[in-house]
Amino acid sequence: MNDVIIIGGGPAGSSLGCYLSMMGISNLIIEGAIFPRAHVGESMVTSSTRVLKEIGMLPIMEREGFVRKYGASWHAPKGKEFAIEFGEFPQAGIEQDYTYHVDRSKFDQLLLKRAEELGSKVYQGVRVQKVLFEDDWARGVRVKIGDSEVDLPCKLVVDASGRSTILGNQLKLKQKDPIFDQYAVHAWFKNVDRGSGHTADFIHVYFLPVERGWVWQIPINDEITSIGVVAERDVFREAKLDVESYFEKYTQTNPDLARAMQPAVRINEFKSEGDYSYCMEKFVGNGYILIGDAARFVDPIFSSGVSIALYGAKYSATQIRQAFETGDFSAATFVPYEERSRKGVAIWYEFIRLYYKLLPLFTHFIQSKEHRLQVLQLLQGEVYDRSEVPVLQAMRNYVQAVEASDNHLFKSQLTSIAID
């Protein structure tokens, strides 16, 4: 019998496998795809490097030559650029002032390989059909191998299945976000004009003149750039255009972006992403844990996805070790992981919600001497174990002041998103 079965070999599942193997806890990672496989979410935040260091991935990241990400840049609708560098705010336990942009097919494969090197058993191309329960306790999983179904018992099941949300769907835990309904269309391009100077390899965000609209520009390597158009799903529906025409229309609505895309040549097919934000009713139960996107998915405007997956693995591993030390695999043992994760992701969520309310006005806080470092701290992913985040209240106050004035100069620039 395996100690732990992990459903999914993405960043959450692979990094958890690394931690558990380092703790001497046997684990089996079951991944439905065969790596390498394409995946969206190609930019990271600097806090991720703590986890990558702990599991021995940083030397691999450097060896493989992933693009170094030193900061972020925002482009207003009328073509003004505002940038911020991670090195302005040193982070405890992090010795480098950059993180990475990654080709996720390559990064995920390397991370899964690292888990295997440390001791995880890995099955690829094997799909979990369901989690097996007995008297409200998860006892294992049922997988399909060829034409046969096989039951695999274990002491603990971890759902790291990403947006497939296998256990969340099985137990009907999934709660759709009441605010966000974003839709993305994206592809890879060669010859994108990234500009020159130190901001060329930053992540670039371009504001669009539509409801909650923006575009990401992420360098994958020296030649390839990922470009994605994001807006409310209704914007796509009402446009009544095919995916390519829709993409081309909105990449021309920001002058900086239009200039960057003028020489660009697309090298793969357009892909679309929906079902952006959701949360499970609970992250833990008797004999099971949900981590990463299988537990909670928030809008990826600030590249939080991989960081949330890695920290979900880190924090859940602590509670899993306690379970094996005490022999108690009940939900109560895993609740501290859920509470810590929820508090951290709640800060991400509130930051994103206020950002979408402000959109172009967000640059006010980037430029502010009072708030700039606090914004940077959030952008770096420093959201866990914090009791107060003063800049979020400052953003709320700013919104309220603009809304309270009937003739405020910036009132028309606020979006319709509700702020309590």
Residue-wise pLDDT tens digits, 231-277: 888 899 999 999 999 999 999 999 999 999 999 999 999 999 876 68
What element of type H or E holds 219?
strand 214-219
The last residue of a domain, from among 228, 253, 273: 273
Q: Indicate the number of domains in the chain.
A: 3
In order of 51, 305, 346, 352, 381, the CA distances from 374 in angstroms are: 22, 20, 16, 14, 11
**By three-state DSSP, how is residue 182 classified?**
strand
Q: Which of 65-69, 110-114, 400-404 has the lowest mean pLDDT?
A: 400-404
Q: 249 with 384, same domain?
A: no
With respect to residue 418, please indicate whether it lies within any of the assigned structural domains: no
Other beta carbons within 10 Å of 407 = 5
Residue 135: CB partners within 8 Å, gap ≥ 6?
none
366, 84 in Cβ contact below 8 A? Answer: yes
With respect to residue 71, please indicate whether it lies within any of the assigned structural domains: no
Model confidence over 316-327: pLDDT tens digits? 999 999 999 999
Closest CA to 227 of 205, 246, 207: 205
User: What's 283's DSSP letter?
Assistant: S
With respect to residue 351, please indicate whether it lies within any of the assigned structural domains: no
* pLDDT of amino acid 361: 81
* pLDDT of amino acid 196: 82
Average pLDDT for the chain: 92
The last residue of a domain, from among 223, 243, 273: 273
Angle between helices 331-358 and 372-379 (to 10 degrees): 130
Q: Which of 272-276, 323-327, 385-389, 408-412 has the lowest mean pLDDT?
A: 408-412
pLDDT over 90, % of the chain: 71
Beta strands at 81-85 and 265-266: parallel, antiparallel or unpaired: unpaired
405 has pLDDT over 80? no
The last residue of a domain, from among 229, 256, 273: 273
Q: 111 with 160, same domain?
A: yes
Band of residue 358 on the pLDDT scale cut at 50, 70, 90: confident
Burial of 341 (0-12, 13-18, 19+ CB in 10 A): buried
Q: 313 with 283, same domain?
A: yes
Closest CA to 225 of 256, 260, 185, 183: 260
Mean pLDDT of 384-401: 88
Q: 58 with 138, same domain?
A: yes
Q: 196 with 300, same domain?
A: no
* pLDDT of amino acid 356: 84
Q: 203 with 238, same domain?
A: yes
Q: 208 with 291, same domain?
A: no
* pLDDT of amino acid 417: 58
Closest CA to 26 of 55, 5, 7: 5
Q: 158 with 211, same domain?
A: no
Query: What does the DSSP assignment read for 144-171?
Result: EETTEEEEEEEEEEEE--GGG-HHHHHT
With respect to residue 79, please indicate whether it lies within any of the assigned structural domains: no
411 has pLDDT over 70? no
Cβ burial 127-148 (10 Å sphere, 16+ → b, else e): bbeebbbeeeebbbbebeeeee
Q: Residue 243: which domain range?
A: 182-273
Q: 172 with 187, same domain?
A: no
Alpha-carbon span 16 to 159, nearest angstrom = 11
With respect to residue 29, please indicate whether it lies within any of the assigned structural domains: yes
Q: 289 with 314, same domain?
A: yes
409 has pLDDT over 60? no
Amino acid at 115: A
With respect to residue 94, please indicate whether it lies within any of the assigned structural domains: no
Higher pLDDT, 182 or 112: 112
The phi and psi torsions of 352 (rounded to 5 degrees) equal -65, -40
Alpha-carbon span 324 to 3, nearest angstrom = 9
* pLDDT of amino acid 338: 97
Mean pLDDT of 327-344: 97
With respect to residue 265, please indicate whether it lies within any of the assigned structural domains: yes
Q: 53 with 131, same domain?
A: yes
Q: What is the CATH number of the domain that holds 264?
A: 3.30.9.100
Mean pLDDT of 45-58: 96
Q: Write the Ramachandran bin of 122: left for phi over 0, alpha for psi from -120 to 50, otherwise beta.
A: beta
Band of residue 177 on the pLDDT scale cut at 50, 70, 90: confident
With respect to residue 73, please indicate whether it lies within any of the assigned structural domains: no
39 has pLDDT over 90? no
314 has pLDDT over 80? yes
Q: 173 with 301, same domain?
A: yes
Give me the sign of the Cα torsion angle 44, 45, 48, 49: positive
> Hunting for tokens 């509130």 — which residue is that?
350
Model confidence over 146-171: pLDDT tens digits? 888 999 999 999 999 999 999 999 99
Beta strands at 148-159 and 2-7: parallel, antiparallel or unpaired: parallel
